[in-house]
Amino acid sequence: MPAQIICGKTISAQVRGRLKEEVEGMRMTDPNFKPGLVVLQVGDRDDSNLYISMKLKAAAEIGINAVHVKLPRTATENEVMCSVMEVNEDSKVHGLIVQLPLDSIHTINTERIINTVAPEKDVDGLTSINAGKLARGDLGDCFIPCTPNGCMELIKQTGVTLAGKKAVVIGRSKIVGAPMHDLLLWNHATVMTCHSKTADLASEVGKADILVTGIGKPEMVRGEWLKDGAVVIDCGINTITDSSRPSGKRVVGDIHYDSAKEKAAFITPVPGGVGPMTVAMLMQRVMELDADENHHKFLFLDEAGFNLAKTRRIGRNLIGQRATVGVPGQCGANITMCAAISEDGVVGRRPRVGSYNAVLLIAFLDELN
């Protein structure tokens, strides 16, 4: 029996529709509710322009305020870093995406730029802090890259339980392969990552109950490699020649779809599978950030009731002081400021609060009296 198609277009449309309703509902109770997203681009690559236009369109439909910051190809590494830091400091922006690759005539250290993004605004989940937390299994305390997150949602839609299943991920990129491995692992699958040096790839693929590909090789994985009844998630986006099309080309995935659908139980098409889910998961993450801000504002007071943080800059004198953290709807709890604070202050610090951690986001305190 041919595989059931996991339609990313349909599922992502449902997600986006739900998010739009949530924005409208939030604005009825809080007219100032306005999720903010910035997409920072260097250069003018056609593929980047296409991906950005998809994100901006989705944001506009939902009600997210998305801004496209476009730097010229002459931008230097320092100029790009300054742009990132400006967005970090803008309290109206909840999420920041640095569109890759960076198309500059100058040599730019991409890792350095990515790690300049404030971790709390890193909706792509690419900073070393977020990637490290994901690798350690701290799924509730990090941002997960949108493509792997979308893949997990697609797998969930099949009803297949991951626990105990054998999963194979082909590709080890920081955007798809590596985080996909971590997500499957911490959802209790037994995971193997395959790559260009893997011996007998077909044999390894044949063991997979769950297969996820992200290698950028058109139709490389053949249907005959698959285990009967596998769940197949294809993250590949590749262009091949097709004289029957007016454009002379068409988009395919990493998996040979026609042969794979005869052996798999579930399969994603390309296009229309993972791609739409990536954008939907991005929008969901930005929404969550603004919702968190509006519902978790912290007010820090000393024992006399004096506001310790009326401004964004907090000096060294706070370290070790007793204070009270007030959360709307909850009683205050004594805390001790215990993070190392620079002379200029930092955007966030994590004080001890009884048996749990509370996060003070200084950007929120500007709005508090």
Residue 55 appears among annotated catalytic residues: yes
Of the CA atoms within 13 Å of residue 82, those in its CB half-sphere come to: 6
Q: How far apart are CA 235 and CA 154, in angstroms?
A: 12
One of 20, 34, 55, 70 is an active-site residue; which one? Answer: 55
**Whole-Å CA distances, 152 to 155, 187, 350:** 5, 10, 30
Q: How far apart are CA 281 and CA 276, in angstroms?
A: 9
Residue 127 has φ and ψ, to the nearest 5°, of: -65, 155
Q: How far apart are CA 26 and CA 215, in angstroms?
A: 40
- For residue 286 the two structure tokens come to 């930005």
Q: How far apart are CA 134 and CA 144, in angstroms?
A: 7
How do beta strands 266-267 and 231-234 pair? parallel
Listed in order, strand segments (DSSP E) in 103-222 are: 166-170, 190-194, 210-213
Active site residues: 55
